[in-house]
Amino acid sequence: MQWTPPLWSWRSMRLKIAICIGFALYSAVSMRSSLSMGIVCMVNSTAFAKEEFVDLPSEEEVENAARHGIVDGCPAHIDENTTAAVGYNGHLMWPPGRQTMLFSANYYGALVTMLVSGTMADKFGPTRILMVAISILILLTLAAPTLAEFNYWVYYGSRVLLGMCEGFVIPCANSLGGRWFPPNEKSSMAALYTSGNQIAAGSSGLIGAWLCKVPFLGGWPVIFYMFGLIGIIWFVTWTCVVSDHPSENRWIRSEEKEYLEGRVAKRNTKGTSIPWSKILRSREVHACLFCNFTFSFMVSINQNFLPLYFKEELFLPLSMNGLYTVVPFLTQLIMKNILASAADHLKSSGKMTPTHVVKLFQGTAAFGTALILVCLALFPSCHQPWLAAVFMFLYGIFFSGGICGFFTSLISIAPSYTGTLSSMSMGFGQIASIISTNTVAAITYQGWPHKWLIIFFIGAALQVFSGIFFLTFGSGEPADWGKIDQRAAKMSMIDDVLLNDLPEPFSDDDDEERERGDTFETGVSPPQKRSIDRIRKISREAALVRWTLSSGGEETIMEEEEEEGEATYYLNGRKCT
């Protein structure tokens, strides 16, 4: 039995690659999410206020209001010097509609690149593509304060370009994961490197709330400068550590490299077309795409508008806003890794099939998230804001189940086309993000009462529908068309390995031996004769392995005998011709 290099070890290159991918996601998401907290400090909150931002009442005012039969204890007036307005003292004159447009701009940009990003990652290698994409993100983030001060539409255009670059991040991350992580480690590693999303979404709000109050450079510009600097640190680390494949990495130990050879894919099958018709007709794929749509709808609202919800609905001061914003993301960071280990244990122990496991976790995630969204819409208020923290904590627990549900299903259906499926999934996610931001913008523009109750109820309904759909059509097993493509990929990889082992047909020894007259009557020198024999042997070995794969993988025995100076090969006792 072959020794398995430990995964959870400081010497494990697989663990280091997962951490670097997580760092990449953290850098990209934090540079994009820096606007969610920055915008509440950049924009003049009182210039366009109607009745959304109100002053928090004192305890005496609440008692007097109750004594006079007034149910709502939040007076509908605003004062720039009130507790709720402390810290929200920006100077940019952007109305609420334009603020919302900025959040949707990067999603429009991602739609442009999401169809080609996965295919490009599979074909050309994800490492360099991701380096270029995030390098542009770094430049745009560092330039953001200058562009925002210069002109709104110039800054809007930079957000579109930022989205185009971010469209490469997830497909490249998943493509690189397929080249480094064996099947029995994919769930745990996927949970680990996608933790960069939650760390970024949570910490960006908390750090941003603190930096908004820093007097240096006006406060909010420091948010963009700091996350741009973090991106530069990632770039240096990525350049030194990461490679497209274990065989190309200079830091990996030989034992770990040998362990990964044959267990991970190199690239997509050469000469094999993508089975688009089967993918588009697959109900398993439809279930994953629909779940990613509904989950991305809520991810967009949480990452972009959660600080605004705490500001508008609960009237939290800036210091508390950052703390409340980090709660769901911190919970997801912890729980997703715990749930991933539990899911892998259920599969490896044989207690549940992979399909039952993904359905269990996805159903719990969808219905549990829907219930918490309903509670979040009905119960928290400006007098009981702590209820929102409790519900956001529970929301993070349930929402984490999606990694063990539809996300695991997505990377299990057809491993040979993980990049392509990731691009499709990301496309649906970007559409959901655009719809969510425009939904918030439309409700805000119409001035409907109970704005956040409507938004959370829409999100809850989508979660219920996606949960039912996945329980009906979801799967954790490779699809039939995925299995066929996997076999073709293995054959192509075997051909590559065998052809790389071919000797040079001519060598420097030929000239020396010819000078000595060491040639056969046919004019073929001994080195050329050895090369020809080697080519014949490798061709038979390739035919053997391909025959074994095409016959379903039954055990095959090859024997070699010398007959009259030539090698003869036998497959299961039958002579090869």
pLDDT by residue (tens digit) across 39-90? 777 776 655 554 443 344 444 544 454 444 444 455 444 444 443 444 555 6
What percent helix, strand, coil does the chain show, rounded to 5?
70, 5, 25
Kindly state the tokens that stand for 472.
């009906």
- List all residues 6 or more positions away from 340 whose beta carbon is below 8 Å from its beta carbon: 187, 188, 190, 191, 192, 403, 404
pLDDT at 574: 52
Q: What are the DSSP calls for 477-516, one per residue?
A: SPPHHHHHHHHHHHHHHHHHHHHHTPPPSS-HHHHHHHHH
Nearest in space to 282 (alpha carbons), one of 434, 412, 174, 187: 412
For residue 215, the model assigns a pLDDT of 72
Same domain for 465 and 382, yes or no, is yes
Are residues 478 and 517 both part of a single domain? no
| 551/547 Cα distance (integer angstroms) | 6
Q: Which of 155-164, 326-335, 346-355, 502-511 has the lowest mean pLDDT?
A: 502-511
The domain spanning residue 467 has which CATH number? Answer: 1.20.1250.20
- Integer Cα distance of 43 and 27 in angstroms: 24
DSSP 403: I
Q: What percent of the chain has pLDDT over 90?
A: 19
How sure is the predictor about 133, in pLDDT bands with cuts at 50, 70 and 90? very high
| Side-chain-side CA neighbours of residue 259 (13 Å) | 20
Residue 23 banded pLDDT, cuts 50, 70, 90: very high
In a domain, 336, yes or no: yes
Sign of the dihedral defined by the CA atoms of residues 561, 567, 570, 575, in that order: negative
Q: Which amino acid is at 540?
A: R
Does one domain contain both 424 and 519?
Answer: no
What is the CB-side half-sphere exposure of residue 284 using CA atoms within 13 A? 23
Domain that holds residue 527: 501-575
Tokens of 181: 């992580």
Predicted confidence at residue 372, as pLDDT, reads: 93
Q: What is the pLDDT of residue 228?
A: 92
Whether residues 150 and 63 share a domain: the answer is no
Give the range with max mean pLDDT: 181-195, 249-263, 385-399, 514-528: 385-399
Helix pair angle (283-312, 195-212), 10° resolution: 20
User: Is beta strand 574-575 parallel, antiparallel or unpaired with respect to 558-563?
Assistant: unpaired
**Environment class of 555 (CB within 10 Å of its CB; exposed 0-12, middle 13-18, buried 19+):** exposed
Specify whether 27 is located in the same domain as 60. no
- Tally of domains in the chain: 3
* pLDDT at residue 566 is higher than 60: no
Same domain for 328 and 365, yes or no, is: yes
Q: What is the mean pLDDT of the chain?
A: 75
Asked if residue 493 is part of any domain, the answer here is no
Same domain? For 414 and 544 the reply is: no
Integer Cα distance of 51 and 281 in angstroms: 49
* Banded pLDDT at 206 (limits 50, 70, 90): confident
CB 83 within 8 A of CB 56: yes
- Cα–Cα distance list, 208 to 45, 221, 317, 396 (Å): 17, 10, 14, 21
Per-residue pLDDT, 271 = 47
- Does any domain span residue 10? no
